[in-house]
Structure 1
């Protein structure tokens, strides 16, 4: 049998069962134990939890005394940008032997494997070091960073949350002065700013509407990737650069002028209004705060949102025409709860006057840039776009042949590693042929970009297929005056 083994077959010894042999040995050992000794061991084991609780209590009391008399500390509330900076520094400088992690599915990042990206269930896994207290040394001083918060697990369940900077932090060090802690926090902020210098941080209100939270971190977008009138683009950038100049702020303050600036980006859908906002934020190193008026409950909540916006940033109000078409319609919907079409009112709870007040009212903040985007500027209330609230209007229209040529060169630049072996001169010749097929002021940049997405590997294919694509798109545009129902066309 496989469970038996042979010992000394040449001497005539029998086969032995190892399990039976082990049980026999344990029986012999148990028979030699003294029952009184067993009782003593059980009694000693029973005192271990009590002793552990006593030592833990002594440690807490001793730590409390040391903290009270020998430690300086700074507490950073959860959700504050400094909190996030400190946690990022700790995670970047954590010891290699860290063994305790919290694992979560990272919904915002897809797998880098092209084959795995085709599968619906493939998502990256994020491992966050799990810690409540961390001892560290910086600039010759010893610090202890403690993290407190009961919502750590619930915050991780939010797909938009990356698990960084959600709990209150207390940074402590030995000594009577908090200056070493301040220097450490300042170093953490500088580190975070260096890490984010190639990204635009987009903030939005959390799901409870109580605080601003980082929503996304987008790579910087070059302004030459947003195609509209070059002269107007230079004028816009010059105006923003002049506004952000510290000397401009002093000029405004010395003349008792409110230090604010507002812009209106308007044009057909897909012309790059939102992309231009992100590109401007990256160009001038500003964070972008996204305000969704329909989700704001009251005027007081809207005012609180603007009060919490830092002074040097961009506040983005997208599709402002979809919020209020005019003042009378807003008043009628508030009075009757019914819109002009007879349907139930779905307008936001905050009013147009509330928005006007936070833009340039008595309690409005200064130092920020407000950008509003719209597809239908003619439907905006005149009070919303008057000078002082909107200082410059920027039209983003359909793409020109020159911009189409620039987009072709950007898509198939030899520096991007395109699979073709064309040099710069050959790509420029193809760009001229491509641009000649694009009707002037007909297609939006986003529509043309969709065509490029189908031919990123071959500029020759893009040139050979552009005429057919243009013909099909023009045929689609000719049907815009009809609504297709069950395969038939009806006048709208």
Structure 2
């Protein structure tokens, strides 16, 4: 019977023929293969895992023996501030200098400011990817000594679960070197501390309680903000700086101790929201090279938690107690219930105890902030607890003029935008082509003349500048209409508040 093939079958025929040739070749190879050799090969393969486990165990045992008798080491706990100092130095001087690193941990990078801005977190956009060098042990030379640093990857993975973690510090570190003496390691740690102190010239470290409320952790590392960028009365500013400078002078500490006086200093910053109370605290930390420890009174669960927080705060720092008017007192309970005011679970006596009780620490600067100074108990603001009160109010015309100059000064604007602003601020009004500081001050004076005295907060005015950073002349041209809109909005808000108060009463 004749066979019939379709065109598709004819296309398959060469492949079937090739498979037949392959089968014949494998058959001839298998017939010539010595079965004893195949058995030997299988035996070697089966022994390989056992040999690997033996070599691995022998290496670990040898390494532990060498480490016990020939290696000195120092362990730094994960939550100790020294841990971050050491890790920062290693990242900057060891890890980043190695271009051959092939292992990283990648995660979505969320900026610190986004946590307070829910809209930024919910916005649909592609976010940056943060690559953190991933290592458990690294070797490096420093000076004439070979060091190794090991870290616990389990604690590293746990820290990675916190979006605010920046990849530096948090996991237990073991620093070691060849020899019986730990002196080289101590010198290395001193180098790390020196490096961290130099970084304070450029950054302020802000500490906050972790999400479990168990310990202080770095919340943010902010570039130092100059005090002159916080706008309020210049005479008050100079008085405040002189007072802090005098307090931090070593001779002042000796004088306090010689007179058996507690070495403490307390300040109260009060005023409407947006007047720069928190910004001033951060700027002061940068001015004097101090860390900032942030305590939000409404978020503290109890007096015991507040006491534990203060026990862990080191000396030589600034403690920022925000919204101290939320502290709970018996006589305020009825009024709070009627007005719906949220109070902290901490009591006044608990706060007073951590400020100047028997077990309270010394050497710190405590800054309390409030929008409602009339709600503060007189015991909290008496001398000894609050040594200086500073009212941060609405902006003056003088401060508005200073803010304008700061916003459009080319030195404070990143290039190439600086060149554009310079040309706009000077050339577009018929001035010389080159930057003229006198012209900028004339523009600033004209701008400030449109600002009502003691009416707007610095944050309101800053919001206006954000809309006109590319053009100084445009800012001057639009300030009058902006003031009118803001004033009409303020009047409407006042009317709504008055109606609400009438309904409540």
Fold shared per TM-score above 0.5: yes
- Whether 1:448 and 2:461 are equivalent positions in the alignment is yes
Which of 297, 306, 311 does residue 310 from structure 2 map onto?
A: 306
- Whether 1:47 and 2:50 are equivalent positions in the alignment is no
Partner of 1:8: none
Partner of 1:78: 78
Q: CA deviation at 1:150?
A: 2.3
CA distance 1:26–1:258, shift in 2 (3 Å): farther
Partner of 1:436: 449
Q: CA deviation at 1:132?
A: 1.2
Partner of 1:11: none
CA distance in 1 between counterparts of 2:340 and 2:493 reads 29
- Whether 1:135 and 2:139 are equivalent positions in the alignment is yes
Q: CA deviation at 1:18?
A: 7.0
CA distance in 1 between counterparts of 2:85 and 2:484 reads 53
CA distance in 2 between counterparts of 1:161 and 1:316 reads 22
The DSSP-based 3-state class of the residue aligned with 1:151 is: helix
Which of 314, 320, 325 does residue 321 from structure 1 map onto?
A: 325
Which of 234, 237, 257 does residue 233 from structure 1 map onto?
A: 237
Tell whether the 8 Å contact from 1:412 to 1:418 is kept in structure 2 after alignment: no
Partner of 2:347: 351
- Whether 1:383 and 2:386 are equivalent positions in the alignment is no
Which of 96, 100, 112 does residue 97 from structure 1 map onto?
A: 100
Partner of 2:356: 360
- Whether 1:166 and 2:167 are equivalent positions in the alignment is no
The DSSP-based 3-state class of the residue aligned with 2:106 is: strand
Which of 106, 109, 115 does residue 109 from structure 2 map onto?
A: 106
Please list, as runs of the form range in 1=range in 2, the aligned pairs for 1:6-85 lying within 5 A after superposition: 25-85=25-85
Give me the TM-score of the superposition, normalised by structure 2. 0.86
- Whether 1:414 and 2:410 are equivalent positions in the alignment is yes
CA distance 1:363–1:476, shift in 2 (3 Å): same
Larger % of helix: which? Answer: 2
CA distance in 1 between counterparts of 2:310 and 2:122 reads 41
- Whether 1:468 and 2:481 are equivalent positions in the alignment is yes
- Whether 1:478 and 2:481 are equivalent positions in the alignment is no
Q: CA RMSD in A?
A: 2.9
Tell whether the 8 Å contact from 2:151 to 2:171 is kept in structure 1 after alignment: yes
The DSSP-based 3-state class of the residue aligned with 1:481 is: helix
Q: Which runs of 5+ in 1 are unaligned?
A: 5-13, 112-116
CA distance in 1 between counterparts of 2:47 and 2:404 reads 78
Number of aligned residues: 469
- Whether 1:215 and 2:216 are equivalent positions in the alignment is no
1:381-408 Cα distance to aligned partner (Å, 9 max, x none): 1111111111100011111111111111
The DSSP-based 3-state class of the residue aligned with 2:354 is: helix
Give me the TM-score of the superposition, normalised by structure 1. 0.88
CA distance in 1 between counterparts of 2:199 and 2:23 reads 63
Tell whether the 8 Å contact from 1:262 to 1:370 is kept in structure 2 after alignment: yes
Q: CA deviation at 1:33?
A: 2.3
Partner of 1:200: 204
Q: CA deviation at 1:256?
A: 0.8
CA distance in 2 between counterparts of 1:490 and 1:265 reads 27
Q: CA deviation at 1:414?
A: 3.1
Tell whether the 8 Å contact from 2:265 to 2:384 is kept in structure 1 after alignment: yes
CA distance in 2 between counterparts of 1:410 and 1:30 reads 86
Q: CA deviation at 1:22?
A: 5.8
Tell whether the 8 Å contact from 1:481 to 1:491 is kept in structure 2 after alignment: no
Q: CA deviation at 1:379?
A: 0.5
- Whether 1:148 and 2:149 are equivalent positions in the alignment is no
Q: CA deviation at 1:264?
A: 0.3
Q: CA deviation at 1:355?
A: 1.0
Tell whether the 8 Å contact from 2:298 to 2:326 is kept in structure 1 after alignment: no
The DSSP-based 3-state class of the residue aligned with 2:281 is: helix
CA distance in 2 between counterparts of 1:265 and 1:151 reads 39
